[in-house]
Amino acid sequence: MIDGYKVADSDGNEKSREYGWSIGFGLQQADGLQPSEYAHDVARRQIAGQISYGQAAQEISEYHAANPSQKEHREADVVSQRISEILQMPTFAFSPGVLKAIHGKLFAGVLSDDWTGVWRTENITKQEPALGGQTVQYSDSMWIEPTLEYDFSEEKKRQGSYQRASREDVAESVFGFLSGVWQIHPFREGNTRTAATFGILYLRFLGFNVGDEPFAKHSQYFRDALALANASDPAFKTAEPLQLFVKALLFDSSVQLKSLRTDEPFAH
């Protein structure tokens, strides 16, 4: 008799939970946030299987309700737990709607309701240290949806050729796509963490073994590499740091990723 469908374990296993929390905590560095020691304790117990993800979320919520002096850590704590939980998902769908859903899951109750899980409606800038204080030119808010639809459509077409391409070429193409999504900056806040979470799920969908250390220890580098890849000023624009990050993430864990936050453009 053929076995029927089975319900996937949404809490993963000890190894996958450790992987998820490592990335969840590390990605907060991309926005200069620091998780609390309490969240690290919750993570240790959740990784060990003593509590579920739902219980971990509840404990973190109750802790911050009772400790308003720790508000500087709240976003990092809540979002770290949610990233780890999302990374237990054994399923994936490739669409802008999934990107939007991930943002909604990560930031519900953390960011303003009118910023969460919706495309931004304002035009924004942000001083980037890797660009000497300049901003990346993000998409105009009125172009976000059609631009994302186009980029996803083009990437969907490329997927047909990935089976015949080298893994290095596939990785380069995928990160070119993810870099473009990040440049659009479809959300008011939380774009880097959302793009990274979506990107990990997508890479796994394509059969890549995605290491945790580059995101866990070098998420600030990742953001700066995206800024450099999308810089308008030719004195700063370069894809080399992002290519190095991809190599460290997918092919060679011995690659060293050094800070890109200097007063000089990245050395070609």
pLDDT single digits (tens) 170-228 = 999 999 999 999 999 999 999 999 999 999 999 999 999 999 999 999 999 999 999 99
Model confidence over 59-99: pLDDT tens digits?
999 999 999 999 999 999 999 999 999 999 999 999 999 99
In whole angstroms, how large is the CA radius of gyration of the chain? 19
Q: Are 187 and 120 in contact (CB under 8 A)?
A: yes
> How many structural domains are present in the chain?
2
- If asked whether residues 97 and 217 sit together in one domain, one would say yes
- If asked whether residues 77 and 35 sit together in one domain, one would say yes
Whether residue 122 has pLDDT greater than 60: yes
Q: Which of 83, 4, 79, 91 lies closest to 35 in space, CA to CA?
A: 79
| pLDDT score, position 10 | 77
- If asked whether residues 210 and 160 sit together in one domain, one would say yes
**110/91 Cα distance (integer angstroms):** 25
Domain span at residue 17 reads 13-88
- If asked whether residues 135 and 252 sit together in one domain, one would say yes
| pTM of structure | 0.94
- If asked whether residues 45 and 97 sit together in one domain, one would say no
Last residue of a domain, one of 88, 115, 136: 88
- If asked whether residues 174 and 205 sit together in one domain, one would say yes
**106/120 Cα distance (integer angstroms):** 16
- If asked whether residues 82 and 111 sit together in one domain, one would say no
Last residue of a domain, one of 43, 58, 88: 88
- If asked whether residues 78 and 148 sit together in one domain, one would say no
- If asked whether residues 36 and 21 sit together in one domain, one would say yes
Q: How confident is the model at residue 265 (pLDDT cuts 50, 70, 90)?
A: very low
Burial label, 264 (beta-carbon count in 10 A; 0-12, 13-18, 19+):
exposed
**177/186 Cα distance (integer angstroms):** 14
Last residue of a domain, one of 88, 105, 125: 88
